[in-house]
Amino acid sequence: MAKIYPIIKSKNPLLRKVSSEIEPAKFGSNLLKKLFLDMTATMYKKDGIGLAAPQISKNIRMVVINTAEGPICMINPVITKRSTTQELGEEGCLSVPGVFGQVNRYKSVDCQFIDENGQKNLIKANKMMARVIQHEIDHLDGILFIDKLEPGSKSSDRKTERPAVKK
């Protein structure tokens, strides 16, 4: 049975640390596969689109993202290409509950990562998927979306459903 982790909140200093890379010797390990399942269950339980390991007090470079095709695991993700254009979009975060605001992000990104089975992958993402990847990688670098809010866009008076994103 999957473990549901508590989500740490924005005042926790762990969210401001740069996460450590996962060693290649651990790629495809049962430990990382189990963590992927636990993070996925936690993300679903908390109604999230994505979840980064630092949000559950794990200082490692790992994220999970809820896509329409099912959850994906990104270990040591690196954005290798960014579009020249950016766009504003509303964001929220499980670690900053009840707060939403406009953040400027690249419209499309290419991201290399290792999956839970230890396989190297490249995803070419645009729109919402690109936004989620950038948001989650920011977590790995100790950055929260509230650090990037457009002036005057912060709100805390609405609820949102977090649907799966298309790859």
Catalytic residue IDs: 136
Whether residue 121 contacts residue 113, with contact meaning beta carbons closer than 8 Å, is answered with: yes
- By the 8 A CB rule, do 41 and 30 touch? no
Q: Measured at the alpha carbon of residue 23, what is the angle toward residues 129 and 25, in degrees to the nearest 5?
A: 115
- Measured CA to CA, the distance from residue 144 to residue 152 in angstroms comes to 17
Dihedral sign (CA 89, 143, 15, 165):
positive
* Dihedral sign from CA coordinates of 150, 81, 141, 122: positive
List the structure tokens of 25: 């010797």
